[in-house]
Amino acid sequence: MVETLSIAVIGAPGVGKTSIIRQFIYNDFSEAYTPTRSRYVYRPSVILNGNMYELKVLDVPPISSFPASASQEWLDLRCRGVRNANAYILVYDICCVESFEYVKMIRQQIVENEGSSSEVPILVVGNKRDLQRQRFMPRRAVSVLVKKTWKCGYVECSAKFNWHVVLLFKELLGIAVARGMRQNHTSTRLQGALQRNRCTVM
Ligand code: GDP
Ligand code: MG
């Protein structure tokens, strides 16, 4: 049986959510900014440690807050499926402090919503690593805050140069598998796309 894992990708406008997803699935990047206006679902398949997973990756358009109730989610088309996601990727731009504040707020709301016993995997992603010289906070400081205080995973990547993009999905899936799917964790292999556009061996 193939496991399906739904992942909601959330972040402030322009941080690179769509770019990360499209680089991961299509090996494609565009310099031009096309704001995502409606929710979009990508369904790639991946192989991790010899197991196949079907991912449902939700590219969530800008939302002012995490949907606080099922009815709120139902009323706002943009956040359909966000509350029931199995895992979250919260993206910010390492050069934009406001985008980090947004991620901080959403993380807080996810945790409050799930309750204290929550083990839902959350990965914070600092994108635009290629613009490292303009970053607002040293990598180490953010990493410590996110990992130690927020208890989330942390990865920096560059969607533009496809740097650490596969890694971040691998990291998140690794956490999800360890927490929810309870399968034996052997060493992970990282390979290129198995079948372009559809399946990635991680
Ligand atoms: P979204 O609104 O979060 O989906 O952001 P997009 O993926 O549409 O990207 C917003 C803009 O940032 C676009 O112009 C992208 O070309 C650019 N961008 C995305 N990722 C990177 C990156 O890693 N480095 C740089 N320099 N630009 C990026
Ligand atoms: Mg977008």
169 secondary structure, DSSP code: H
- Three-state DSSP state, 173: helix
Atom number in ligand 1 closest to CA 161: 23
Asked if the model's pLDDT at residue 197 lies above 70, the reply is: no
- Between the CA of 4 and the centroid of ligand 1 the distance, in Å, is 27
Instruction: Compute how many other C-beta atoms are within 10 angstroms of the C-beta atom of residue 162.
Output: 16
38 within a domain of the structure (yes/no): yes
Q: Is 15 in the pocket of ligand 1 (CB under 6 A)?
A: yes
* C-alpha closest to that of 10 among 144, 102, 111, 137: 102
**Helices 165-176 & 17-26 angle (0-180, nearest 10):** 90
Amino acid at 136: F
Cα-based angle 141, 145, 150 (whole degrees, multiple of 5): 165
Cα-based angle 7, 116, 92 (whole degrees, multiple of 5): 40
- Three-state DSSP state, 73: helix
The pLDDT of residue 184 is 35
The pLDDT of residue 28 is 94
199 within a domain of the structure (yes/no): no
Stated as kind and residue range, the H or E segment containing 22 is helix 17-26
- Between the CA of 197 and the centroid of ligand 1 the distance, in Å, is 20
16 within a domain of the structure (yes/no): yes
191 within a domain of the structure (yes/no): no
The pLDDT of residue 177 is 86
- Nearest residue (by CA) to ligand 1, atom 6, is 16
- Nearest residue (by CA) to ligand 1, atom 24, is 128
Asked if the model's pLDDT at residue 69 lies above 70, the reply is: yes
Ligand nearest to the CA of 158: 1
Which range among 32-41, 61-70, 79-88, 116-125 shows the weakest confidence by mean pLDDT?
Answer: 116-125
- Between the CA of 46 and the centroid of ligand 2 the distance, in Å, is 22
State pLDDT tens for residues 142-182: 999 999 999 999 999 999 999 999 999 999 999 998 887 54
Range of the domain at 102: 1-186
24 within a domain of the structure (yes/no): yes
Q: Is 99 in the pocket of ligand 1 (CB under 6 A)?
A: no
Q: Please provide the average confidence, as pLDDT, over all residues in the chain.
A: 89
Dihedral sign, Cα of residue 98, residue 116, residue 57, residue 130: positive
The pLDDT of residue 182 is 40
The pLDDT of residue 190 is 35
Residue 35: what are its φ and ψ, rounded to 5°? Answer: -60, 140
* Percent share of the chain, pLDDT over 90: 74
CA 110 to chain centre: 14
Q: Is 14 in the pocket of ligand 1 (CB under 6 A)?
A: yes
Beta bridge partners of 8: 58, 88
What distance in Å separates the CA atoms of residue 64 and residue 25, rounded to the nearest whole number? 27
State pLDDT tens for residues 134-144: 999 999 999 99
CATH number for the domain that contains residue 102:
3.40.50.300
Amino acid at 165: V
How many domains does the chain divide into? 1
CA 103 to chain centre: 11
